[in-house]
Amino acid sequence: MKKVTGLGGIFFKCDNPQSMNDWYAKNLGIAASEYGTTFEWRQADDPSIKGSTTWCTFPQNTPYFNPSTKPFMINYRVENIVALVDELKKANVTIVDEIAEYDYGKFVHVLDPEGNMIELWEPKEELDQDNLAG
């Protein structure tokens, strides 16, 4: 079974998210809203499938990274999140919450051995609608 298939996003805490967003926009060309920015790409083995990676700043006091006290969180794209969570439970990995499902995919959070929050994301397939016409 495939596990991690790619990087879904990078999230980090900072003292002033808006100031950081402004700095990254000015100096590195990363234009971000309060929800970050999304880098879109296509899968190498099937260019009809779109993918994305998110970059986002968070305030220092965000509860979103809890119970981790680390200033960052990495989101990994995965296949078959249900089967993966079953494997992780058997390996005694700390599962922080239950699998949540949204319009854009399924999510669950786990902790690595050093207490880093890891967000696992099984995205819904993003097919290129232009290629589906016909």
What are phi and psi for residue 105, nearest 5 degrees?
Answer: 140, -175
Burial of 48 (0-12, 13-18, 19+ CB in 10 A): middle
| Contact partners, residue 41, CB within 8 Å, separation at least 6 | 50, 51, 52, 53
Mean pLDDT confidence for 92-109: 96
DSSP state of 36: B
- Residue 131 pLDDT greater than 80, yes or no: no
Q: What is the pLDDT of residue 126?
A: 53
The answer on pLDDT for 45 being more than 60 is: yes
Cβ contact 7:78 at 8 Å: no
Asked if residue 69 has pLDDT above 90, the reply is yes
Mean pLDDT of the chain: 90
Q: Indicate the domain borders of the chain.
A: 4-132
pLDDT beyond 60 at 133: no
Q: Does the 4-132 domain belong in CATH 3.10.180.10?
A: yes
Residues 7-20 pLDDT 10s: 999 999 999 999 99
